[in-house]
Every structure is written in structure tokens, then in C-alpha cells.
Amino acid sequence: MPFADVSRAELTERRRKLRRQRKVRIMQASWRLLFVLGVASGSVWVMSLPAWVVRQPQQVEVQGNQLLSTATVQKLLPIAYPQSLWQIQPEAIAQELQQQAPIAQATVSRQLFPPRLKVQIQERTPVAIAVAADNTTSLLDAEGQAIPLQTFQRLNQSIALPSLKVLGMQEQYRSQWTTLYQAISSSPVKISEIDWRQPTNLILKTELGSAHLGALSPRLNQQLRSLDRMRQIGSNVNPTQIAYIDLRSPDSPLVQLVQDSRTVQDGRTEPSSADDPTP
């Protein structure tokens, strides 16, 4: 029957087309596989070339360093020269730097042309010397992070130590340190020492004398402004007779005298409460 013959012919043609399509797909898949293998083999070959090798510390570019020399940072890198650029682990190197040196953050990246490493660092700058109860000393940065003094001096023997000294710095004060240091560093009155050994009475050693602030409070900036306004106190009172300046009440600061236990307020000498004749 013609209808049956046509149907068989169509089926045969369809089978031929399907076979051709399968062959085309197989060839395309084979070419893709060969391409991927070629790229992978080429990449391995390129990475193994001597050109992509870090042979010496001079191929490490250091950026962001001010306190630590470039040579010092290069010596701290855990790299066995010569080493393939692709075998170096940037994250591991960054972590090692942060552990071995006063570095807050480090970023390490590879550069292909020319082959080298780039090391971007953010140093911890010491702003104060902290003296503990056992007289051991360390350095503090602006965030209150402790930097071992020996480590810093070993890495940079020529650095000048900070002039600000902190007595009684403790771990629980760390959250308050940033606020305190910002206020101290911007104070118009020069401050050389912070005595934090008594939490209820913060004592500052200033160019005008010792200043008692009481417990650290939001009134700190107001207390420092009040201290600045007392610069003329030397014209009214012999500086050698001043025991300390009482800034617990910044609106009415007092000057405690050494011998007679009198206080000076707003340039006027007044008896202290202990000498007040009023019963």
C-alpha cells in the first residue's frame, strides 16, 4: 500500500537524521573536551615556566608602611625563595604578617607582569606607653590594642617612643580608651601622663599640674576645656603650692593647695571644707 510505503520511508529518513545528529553532538562534545584539556594543560605549562617564580625579596612590593621598613616586612614573609608564584598562598602570608608584626591589616596579591607580590599593610601606630602594676611596659595604639614593646623595638630600633604614659591600663578599659585618647590628643593643654589606677578618679599629669577628673564620664571634653581656661592660675597662685586641680565639677573647678589645705576657685583663695569654721 502506498501509505504504508511512505510511512516506512519517513521512518527510515528520520532514523538517518537522528544518527547524524548524534554523531554531530558526539563530535561537538569531543571538541569541547579537547579544548578544555588543552586549556588546562596550557595553564599547567604556563604556571610551571621559570618566568612565574618569585626568586628574591625584591620582587615583593610593600605599600602602606611608615614605621616598618620595606626590608623588614620582606623578611617577615614566610616565603622560601625561589618559589612559584602560584604556590604562594596570599591569605596565609597576610595572617602571618598580622601575627608577627604590629600590623592591623594586610592584603597580599599576585602580579603576573612582571611576576611579583604586592603587600598592602595598615600598621598599628603606638600612641602611648602602658605601664602595668608589675612595672612591665607595652605600647598602645589609638584603638587600645597592646603592642609588645620588645617586638616593636626588635623590628624598628630607631623609632621614637610615644611621650604619653598610661598607668593602670586594664583590659576592661579598652572600650573607653578610644574616646579618652581622642579627647587627650586634641586637648589644648599638654598632657604627659594618664593615671588610671583608680577607676573612680582619673588623674592627668598636665603642663598646669595634676588634674583630678573623677570617674571617666561624658563630661571629659568639658573638663578639659575648663582646664584650658585655668591657664592664668599661675599668676594668682605659686605653682609649687598647687597640690592638684579638681575638675570633678567642670563648671566650678577648684585648685587644692599643698600646705594649708585651702582651695582656689576662680582666682580667689577660700578655706577648704575641713577649715570651714561653720559648725
Q: Quick one: 89 and 139 in the same domain?
A: no
What's the confidence (pLDDT) of residue 14? Answer: 74
Q: Quick one: 110 and 145 in the same domain?
A: no
What's the confidence (pLDDT) of residue 268? Answer: 47
Q: Quick one: 143 and 179 in the same domain?
A: yes
Q: Quick one: 79 and 175 in the same domain?
A: no
What pTM was estimated for this model as a whole? 0.73
Question: pLDDT tens, 211-221?
Answer: 999 999 999 99
Percent of the chain whose pLDDT exceeds 90: 56
HSE of 85 in the Cβ direction (CA atoms, 13 Å)?
A: 23
Q: What domain count does the chain have?
A: 2
Determine the angle formed by the axes of helices 220-228 and 174-185, rounding to 10 degrees.
30
Q: Quick one: 222 and 135 in the same domain?
A: yes
Q: Quick one: 141 and 95 in the same domain?
A: no
**Which residue in 204, 179, 180, 182 sits closest to 191, CA to CA?**
204
pLDDT at 41 over 70: no
Is 40 among the domain residues?
A: no
Is 7 among the domain residues?
A: no
Q: Quick one: 226 and 151 in the same domain?
A: yes
Question: pLDDT tens, 92-108?
Answer: 999 999 999 999 999 99
Query: How long is the chain?
Result: 279
Is 243 among the domain residues?
A: yes
Q: What's the Cα-to-Cα distance from 36 to each of 27, 28, 42, 43, rounded to whole Å?
A: 14, 12, 10, 10
Residue partners of 129: CB distance under 8 A and separation at least 6:
137, 138, 139, 140, 149, 161, 162, 164, 165, 166
Q: How many whole angstroms separate alpha carbon 89 and alpha carbon 75?
A: 16
Q: Quick one: 116 and 130 in the same domain?
A: no
Last residue of a domain, one of 67, 95, 123: 123
Is 4 among the domain residues?
A: no
**Which residue in 231, 250, 226 sits closest to 242, CA to CA?**
231
Is 228 among the domain residues?
A: yes
pLDDT at 23 over 90: no
Q: Quick one: 133 and 66 in the same domain?
A: no
Question: pLDDT tens, 127-181?
Answer: 999 998 888 899 999 999 999 998 888 998 888 899 999 999 988 899 999 999 9
Q: Quick one: 132 and 267 in the same domain?
A: yes
Other Cβ atoms within 10 Å of 221 Cβ, number: 14
What's the confidence (pLDDT) of residue 273? Answer: 43
Give the pLDDT band (50/70/90) at residue 27.
confident
Last residue of a domain, one of 91, 123, 155: 123
Give the pLDDT band (50/70/90) at residue 22.
confident
Q: How many whole angstroms separate alpha carbon 177 and alpha carbon 250?
A: 21
- Identify any residues that bridge with 211 across adjacent strands, giving them in sequence order: 204, 245
CATH number of the domain where residue 118 is located: 3.10.20.310
**What's the average model confidence in pLDDT over 252-273?**
64
Is 186 among the domain residues?
A: yes
What's the confidence (pLDDT) of residue 267? Answer: 45
The domain of 63 spans 51-123
Q: For 17-45, b where at least 16 C-beta lie within 10 A, e where not — what string?
A: eeeeeeeeeeeeeeeeeeeeeeeeeeeee
Is 79 among the domain residues?
A: yes
* Type of residue numbered 108: V
CATH number of the domain where residue 215 is located: 3.40.50.11690
Give the pLDDT band (50/70/90) at residue 40.
low
- State the DSSP H helix or E strand holding residue 245, giving kind and residue range, or none if neither: strand 242-246
Last residue of a domain, one of 106, 123, 140: 123
Is 252 among the domain residues?
A: yes
Please answer whether residues 192 and 184 qualify as being in contact, where contact means their C-beta atoms are separated by less than 8 angstroms: no
Q: Quick one: 71 and 177 in the same domain?
A: no
Q: Quick one: 131 and 250 in the same domain?
A: yes
Q: How many whole angstroms separate alpha carbon 206 and alpha carbon 203?
A: 9
